[in-house]
Structure formats: C-alpha cells, structure tokens
Amino acid sequence: MAYLTQPDYVKYICSCGQLKPITSLYFCRHCLKIRCGFCICHEVDSHYCANCLENMPSSEARLKKNRCSSCFDCPSCFHTLSTRATMAQPRQTPQDPAGGDTKVESKQPKKMYYLSCFNCRWTSRDVGIPDQPVASGGWPERTNPFAARVNQLLDYYKAIALQEKQEKIERERKKFTIRGKYITLTDKTGLTGAMARNIAGLPSSDSSCSAIANFVPSQASAEVEELPEDYYTKEVNLNQITSMPQRLASPEWQPVSVSRLHPLAKLLSVKRSQRCRVCDHNLTKPEYNPGSIKFKIELLAYYHVPEVKIISHEPVKAGEKTALLLKLTNPTGHEMQIKLLQPEDLPPPEEKEEPKSIEKSLEKSLNLEKDTSSYKAIEREPQYSVTSRVTSPPTALTLAQRDDAAEYDDDAQHDTTE
Amino acid sequence: MSHNIKILPGATVCEDCTLEGDITIGGGTVIHPRVTIIAEGGPIIIAEYCIIEEYSTIIHKKSDQQENPPKPLFIGAHNVFEVGCKLESPCGHIGESNVFECRSYVGVDVKIGSGCVVGAACHLTAPQTLVDNTVIWGSEHHIREALEKQPSQLLQLDFLSKVMPNYHRLRKPNVHKRQSSTRQSQEPSPKP
Ligand SMILES: [Zn+2]
Ligand SMILES: [Zn+2]
Ligand SMILES: [Zn+2]
Ligand SMILES: [Zn+2]
C-alpha cells in the first residue's frame, strides 16, 4: 500500500533491483517483468503549456526556448500570473478603481490589462510595465544583452557537433569497407558523400567550417569594476534585493533589485511516453490532447501485480515470535497463484546477452540513429537490510480474481483470500 | 459581558454569527455567516466597506495593562478578512485595504499599516510592525513590498450586499445616519 503523506511501508523489488512503492512501478506485459522509472526509457511525446493547454510542435518549442509565448510566471514567487482588467480613463495614469468611484465618474472608460500574481500579489505595475490594451500578448520583451555572443557560441558548437558526426560516419564507413563483406549504400549506388549528407538532412560542410574558423574564444580579464564606495556602509533593504532563485529564474539578466524583475515566459511541460528498454514496447502513452489526463497505454503495476497491505503487526522483540497480518489483493481478472519466499530464495537476475546483428548496426550507422547501447536494461541484486525473519506459510496461495461487484456488496467479508 | 452591537445603515450582517461585546459595524461592510467577533477587552470598531468571510475570528483580547476606559480596536475601511482567518489584538489600529488571506493568523503585538497582505496560512506571532503595502506569503513567510495598495473589492461588496439577503437572515441596522456621520469623518480620504 502506498500513501500520499506517509512513508511507503510496502516496497516492491523492481527487475532492476530498486525498491519502490507499487504506485511508481510499471508492469511490462511483454517481458512479464516489473519496471520502474529508473529502468525504462522516457520519451517526450509533445510539448504543451500547462496554463493555456496549447500544444506546440517540438521544433517550434525549441525555437521558443521551451517557453509559452502567451503565459507568464511570477518573477517573485514563480506562480502563474493572471491577466487582470481595469477600467482606465484615457489621458490619466492607470490607477486602481480603489482610488475612488472612477467607475461612476469616467465618461469613456477603456479596458486596460495588467499581469498580477494571486500568490504574492506581484503586479506588472510594480516594475513599471505599462498596462496593455489587449488581454493577451503585447508585453514588452527584453533583449538579452549577450544575445550575439550566445548565438555565436551556438553556431560554433553546432558546427563542431556536425563535424564530429561526419567524422563518425567516415569511420563507420571505413570499418565496413575493410571487412569487404558488406557493400555500403554509397558504394552500391554510387552516391557521393555530399549526397548522402543531403539524404540524411544535414547541411553542407562549408558553412560549418567557417563558423569554426571565425570563432573567437573569450578572454579572461583581470580588470574588474570597482565596488561602489558605500558598499560596506550602505544599509541593506532586503525587500529591495532579489533572492537567489529569483535571479536564477532569468539567467540572462539576473536582476539584483526587485524593480528589475520581469514576467517570466512560462516554461512548457511535456507529455511523455515510457518504453520498456528490453522489448521496446510502450508502458505508458498519454493521449495527445493536453487537457486530457488519460492514457492510451497504461501498464501500471497496480493493475497487474498483487497488492500487499500490512493489516496489523506486533512490536518485534528479539528471540520472540510475533504475528504479522498481510492482505494480498489480486487486481487482475484471473486467478493467481502466490508463493511467499524468503529473501535468499529470490531468483538471481538473469544474464542475457542480446545478439547484436551486424546488419542492424550497419543500418543504424547509415540512418544516423542514436546509439542505443546506453538504453540497455541492467539487472542488479536488490539491496535491503533484514532485521527479522518472516516465517511464511510453505504452501502456495490462490488469489481469486478481482470481483467488480465486491464494492457494492453489503457484507464486508467479501474480500479476496488472505 | 454587555452586548452592544451597533450596525450602521448599509451594512450587511448575517444573523448566524457570534458578536460579543461592544461592536460597531460600518456602512457597506459585509459580514458573512459563522463569523466570530469578540470584544472582550474593549470595543471593536469596523469601518466601512470591509468584507469578513466565513469562519473568520476577530478578537479584542483582554490584557493586563489595560487602560480605563479601554481603547477600542479600530479596523480601517476596505479590509478583507478571508475564510478562516484569525486576528487577535489587544487594542490599536489596523489600517485600510489590508487583506487577511484564508487561515492566516495575526497575533497580539502585530501592528498593521495599510495595504498589507497576510498570505494564506501565514502566522504572525512575533511582535512586529507591518509597514504600508507589505505582502507576506508562502510557508516561509516571504516578505515583499508592493508598490500600491491592493485593489478594492467594491464590485464584490456590491454583489454580496445584493445577493446575501436572498439566502441569509440578516441583522437589521440599528443606528441611524446621524451617528454614522461622525464615523465617516474618521475615514481617511482615498489616495489619488
Ligand atoms: Zn527498475
Ligand atoms: Zn501558455
Ligand atoms: Zn507571485
Ligand atoms: Zn518489456
């Protein structure tokens, strides 16, 4: 049983040796093994904004630095900012309706919008951002003072990555030609390297060369700006100084004073699917719609693995026998045989060498596919300390299948066998 | 304890609330059901256009060094006491346009200016003074200073005073305009 606010009393051994509560485990139907977040493959399915629930293709998300263009987070407490409307008279500085009965007096009230945080009451007016006439968008954007340098660095590293990739292709190609047994695609079809690059969707190598050649590494300088005269004597007003998390939330500017805090474009969230590393089957796959919390595939351990609950236990004393009452529940629609084992009776993790076909790796090298060797599932012995011994009944237990009607029954003695 | 509840015209006070002691409730103020206001240490004066929501508690605490006659606890205009908040004060003055968010607690010896916000579940127990426009929020009691006062809840007050009589039994105003005018002069004029 897993609790939200209590420690996890019952833990299950994942096939990778981790001990986890049942709520964070998956069950691969194809390998018939328990998997956990550590030993499965996490894949990003789609990017979306958790506030406006808008989907964004991954290319666009990358372009926008994984941030939503219409939603903002509070720079002070990181809560989502809300847009608030006020009535403001033209030719008048925007002010609160609190300042009097402006609502009644104004002849031509104009709706103006500002951003406000419901948590810490920060508003965009606090830092002097003018109110906007439209509800969404139009908020002034600040430019990164180091934008040019950042772009230069980006180009440089992209070029280097490209160069390394090409070198790798060359190496792989040589390896296979030496073997002589396999004819590479380029040999067979007379494709040139440039054409192969085109097919693979890579830009030509010329531009990358220039980016590497023209790159100027930055120079460390010993000259540092002097501290202001009153640095040690001036009284500090902590309300005017930003906290470390506030500074780090906008790494481009790192404001020191609260008057320089600007709304943060909201970070996108991802929907992810999870995949078994051994058999490549999906363990979970969410629905595409960001508003939906349902799954298309949902192989949770909770639906397949018998649930163990500790009903009662007596305090453990040295050299004495105490009673431990467990309740096992079968969540599946099939009858289940269960045997209680001692920790040392656990079957050791199987050593399995996956046969690696050369054809497959050749195909991979040509397709420039990611190296999958890092995905391999590793099985380890579970680590846990034992302070007492459980004397288990030697016979196998039979758990009846789940009874959907049990919940609606009046008599309480309708649970599965114990 | 003598019960001397003065409700000025325009105030909306639900019957289902505990009012004990000498309490004056200003015009335009809305008091939801299940509110507890206890003036055991001296009178409580609540100015105009305050909202006091369900399960909030305002206590004018008895203290040892009490003056005779006891000083009133004056609560300025446009204050909002959200659901379940608690304010304990021996006496003194609470400014205007403050917001006491849900389940917040303000203990004795806390002086509150104007435009302050005590965040949800924030507990102020140590003696301190909140200068104007202080905002306290979060479990770590972060403090920041707002640039301006919190926007007033006039629309909400309007709505509440229209809707409340349809669903709740109300206490009738028992003071006439003449006395309320003296109170009005105490209220500082709104800032431009
Ligand atoms: Zn695992
Ligand atoms: Zn958004
Ligand atoms: Zn905030
Ligand atoms: Zn699998």
């639900």: which residue's tokens? B14
d(CA B56, CA B3): 20
Asked if B154 lies within 8 A of A103 by C-beta distance, the reply is yes
CA of A352 to the centre of ligand 4 (A): 14
CA distance A6 to chain B (A): 20
What pLDDT band is residue B1 in, cutting at 50, 70 and 90? low
Contact flag A121-B147 (C-beta cutoff 8 Å): no
What is the structure's pLDDT at A203? 54
State yes or no: ipTM above 0.90. Answer: no
CB-based contact A121 B146, cutoff 8 Å: yes
Cβ distance of B154 and A97 shorter than 8 Å: yes
Minimal-distance CA residue of chain A relative to B140: A77
**Integer angstrom CA distances of residue A61 from A50, A210, A269, A306:** 14, 28, 10, 41
Question: Which of A155-159, A227-231, A380-384, B78-82 has maximum average pLDDT?
Answer: B78-82
pLDDT score of B148: 83
Could you tell me if B80 and B56 are in contact, meaning their C-beta atoms sit under 8 angstroms apart? no
Q: What is the pTM of this model?
A: 0.72
Percent of chain B's residues with pLDDT above 70: 90
Name B57's bridge partners.
B36, B86
Mean pLDDT of chain A: 80
pLDDT of the residue at A178: 59
Nearest ligand to the CA of A47 is 2
pLDDT at A311 over 80: yes
pLDDT of residue A107: 60
Residue B63 half-sphere exposure toward CB, CA atoms < 13 A:
20
Q: What is the predicted pLDDT for the residue at A97?
A: 46
Q: Which residues surround ligand 2, an ion (CB under 5 A)?
A: A 49, 51-52, 68, 71
**Burial bucket for residue A368 (CB in 10 Å: 0-12, 13-18, 19+):** middle
Cα(A306)–Cα(A299) distance, integer angstroms? 14
DSSP per-residue codes, chain B: ---EEEE-TT-EEESSSEEEEEEEE-TT-EE-TT-EEEEEEEEEEE-TT-EE-TT-EEEE---TT--SSPPPEEE-TT-EE-TT-EEEESSEEE-SS-EE-TT-EE-TTEEE-SS-EE-TT-EE-S-EEE-TTEEEETTTTEEEE-SSPPPP-HHHHHHHHHHHHHHS-EEPP-S-HHHHHHHHTTSPPPP-
Percent over 70 (pLDDT), chain A: 78
How far apart, in whole angstroms, are the C-alpha atoms of residue A148 and residue A151? 5
Give the model confidence (pLDDT) of A248-273 as tens digits.
998 888 999 988 899 999 999 999 99
DSSP A75-94: TTT-PBEEEEEEEE-TTS--
Predicted confidence (pLDDT) at residue A363 exceeds the cutoff of 60: no
Q: Are B116 and B143 in contact (CB under 8 A)?
A: no
* Cα-to-centroid distance, B143 and ligand 3 (Å): 11
Distance set, CA A116 to CA A7, A125, A354, A359 (Å): 38, 9, 57, 59
A359, two tokens:
């054809």
Q: Is the pLDDT of residue A142 over 70?
A: yes
- Find which of A87, A121, A239 to mutate to test the B interface (most B CBs within 10 Å of its CB): A121
Average pLDDT over residues B21-49: 93
* pLDDT band of B90, cuts 50, 70, 90: confident
Which range is least confidently modeled, A67-71, A159-163, B145-149? B145-149
B190: confidence class by pLDDT, cuts 50, 70, 90: very low
| Tens of pLDDT, residues A169-178 | 998 888 766 5
Residues 6 or more apart whose CB falls under 8 angstroms from that of A316 comprise A322, A387, A388
Nearest-angstrom CA–CA distance, A417 and A406: 13
The two structure tokens encoding residue A21: 């509560």
| Residue A287 contacts residue A296 (beta carbons within 8 Å) | yes
Q: Is pLDDT of B31 > 50?
A: yes
Structure tokens at B179: 């006395």
C-alpha–C-alpha distance, residues A18 and A38, integer Å: 8
Among A66-70, A333-337, B180-184, where is mean pLDDT lowest? B180-184
Q: Which ligand is nearest to the CA of B142?
A: 3
Question: Residue A320 pLDDT > 50, yes or no?
Answer: yes
Cβ–Cβ below 8 Å for B192 and A99: yes
pLDDT of the residue at B179: 47
pLDDT of B175 reads 81
Q: Do A120 and B151 touch (CB under 8 A)?
A: no
Whether the CA torsion A177, A181, A182, A187 is positive or negative: it is: positive
Separation CA A221–CA A376 (nearest Å): 46
CA distances, A180 to each of A152, A188, A360, A362, A367 (Å)? 43, 13, 17, 13, 20
Q: How near does any CA of chain B get to the CA of A244, in Å?
A: 13
Nearest CB among B143, B147, B192 relative to A125 is that of B147
- Report, as an integer, the average pLDDT of A42-70: 91
Q: Cα(B105) to centroid of ligand 3, in Å?
A: 21
Look-up of token digits 């346009």: B97
By the CB < 8 Å criterion, does B143 face chain A?
A: yes
Average pLDDT for residues A185-197, to the nearest whole number?
A: 55
**CA A228 to CA B33: how far, in whole Å?**
58
User: Average pLDDT, stretch B149-174?
Assistant: 90
Q: Is the pLDDT of residue A205 over 90?
A: no
Please report which confidence band the pLDDT of residue B134 belongs to, taking 50, 70 and 90 as the band edges. Answer: very high
Tell me, what's the pLDDT at A96? Answer: 47
Taking the centre of ligand 2 as the mean of its atom positions, its distance from the CA of residue A73, in whole angstroms, is: 10
* CB within 8 Å: A97 and B142: no
The phi and psi torsions of A173 (rounded to 5 degrees) equal -65, -45
Average pLDDT over residues A209-214: 77
Residues 6+ apart with CB under 8 A from A362: A176, A182, A184
pLDDT tens digit sequence for B106-125 = 998 899 999 999 999 999 99
Q: Report pLDDT for A369.
A: 46
Reply yes or no on whether the pLDDT at A130 is more than 60.
yes
Q: How far apart are CA B187 and CA A292, in angstroms?
A: 51
C-alpha dist (Å) from residue A389 to A7, A323, A340, A394: 22, 12, 12, 14
pLDDT at residue A411 in the model = 57
In this predicted structure, the answer to whether residue B87 has a pLDDT above a threshold of 90 is yes
